[in-house]
Amino acid sequence: MSNSSIPDFPTDYKSIWQRVDEIDPIEYGRSRNYTEGAVTYLSPYISRGVISVKQVQQHVLKRGYPLAAIEKFLQELAWREYFQRIWQVKDSALLQDLKQPQADVAHQQLISSLANARTGIQAIDTAIQHWYDTGYLHNHVRMYVASLMCNIGKAYWHMPSQWMYFHLLDGDVASNTCSWQWVAGAFSSKKYYCNQENINRFTNSFQQNTFLDTSTELLASLTIPVELSETFHWQGSTTLPVRQEIQIDSQKPTLLYNSYNLDPIWRKDEDMNRVLLLEPSHFERFPVSEKVMNFILALSKNISSIQVYVGEVEELVQLCASSSAAKPNFISKEHPAFTHYPGLKDERDWIYPSVTGYHSSFFAFWKKCSKAIKTPDLFSGE
């Protein structure tokens, strides 16, 4: 993977929508698994709620592509909704083995060579270092890392998934957790293995004679390679901004934003207090790096008159209550991580609002979604 293949991630709304305009959904379907393929680089903005999968899908469908030609692209958008629906149903059980216990686990720690980008698999080590530098890791490489960590290095998936989430600009607990469990066989019928040939093919590398240079069938029976034998306990910690005083007009409702909802057009024409709430309890449970936190704060600047409040929602309620005799009026967007918010909860911008509940596989979910793609309402609005 070359340096030129690593994108930057602008945070202004105009540049984000320019990236949406540049989507090539047909080429995406052909090449998305290659590290230099036509991926969209939109995931950080979707994960942070700046834009929605529905907006992206509508934007692409309006160009008139034949649906069959862009099915892979539409499916990738649907995967995100699928994982979110699982989180809605499973709640905190999302963080446990979803279908069956991960088999053949040797330890519950992080493998040092992966964390330090020193596995000896050059394409993987380079990608991890670039990920630390940029906050971006190609989805196929994430699968490689998880396979090395869990299936060849035999680590339990939970701590490694936290480590990956910590460093991702597009960190999404549902997508990240379910994907790690899928690779590790806790949310799939079998474990996912990658060998050197597969890595070379999709990363444009030519390495040979590594511990992965064998068939995938043989990899499943290997003992832990010495390159993956050293482990350590990893724990992330979030550096939150220093709390600043905010001004609340008690005569207005208060919109609550968070790290998963930074939508600058949400109720934008309504006269309200707008608060980005950064709860220490949330980031203690789901820690993120300084790079990720700075990205969140930068994205929030697209929201007119936004104020940042570092504290628990109960503290914000008390702050608002102390300035008015009336009961504070809060509005947020529904999200499994923030069910404890008081007040009204707007529904999120789902592509398939009628396809709800838990589905044991993506394709069971997609079967229902695909029937809705041709309905006229998908083409309305922007």
Rounded-to-integer distance, Cα 135 and Cα 288, Å: 11
Rounded-to-integer distance, Cα 251 and Cα 270, Å: 13
In angstroms, how far apart are the furthest CA atoms of the chain?
A: 73
The residue ranges of every structural domain in the chain are 3-95, 110-232, 254-346
How many residues are given for the chain?
382
- Considering the segment(s) 3-95 as one domain, its CATH architecture is Alpha Horseshoe (1.25)
Q: Are 153 and 112 in contact (CB under 8 A)?
A: no
Query: Could you tell me what percentage of the chain is helix, strand and coil, using 3-state DSSP and rounding each to the nearest 5?
Result: 45, 10, 45
DSSP 96: S
**Tokens standing for residue 27:** 């080429």
Exposed/middle/buried for 225, CB within 10 Å: 0-12, 13-18, 19+? middle
Cα distances (angstroms) measured from residue 348 to each of 82, 225, 291: 14, 45, 26
From first to last of the 382 residues of the chain, give the pLDDT tens digit: 444 456 799 999 999 999 999 999 999 999 999 999 999 999 999 999 999 999 999 999 999 999 999 999 999 999 999 999 999 999 999 999 999 999 999 999 999 999 999 999 999 999 999 999 999 999 999 999 999 999 999 999 999 999 999 999 999 999 999 999 999 999 999 999 999 999 999 999 999 999 999 999 999 999 999 999 999 999 999 999 999 999 999 889 999 999 999 999 999 999 999 999 999 999 999 999 999 999 999 999 999 999 999 999 999 998 888 765 567 799 999 999 999 999 999 999 999 999 999 999 999 999 999 888 765 444 333 3
Q: Which CATH number among 3.90.1200.10, 1.10.579.10, 1.10.10.10, 3.40.140.10 corresponds to the domain 110-232?
A: 1.10.579.10
Q: Are 157 and 107 in contact (CB under 8 A)?
A: no
3-class DSSP assignment, residue 306: strand
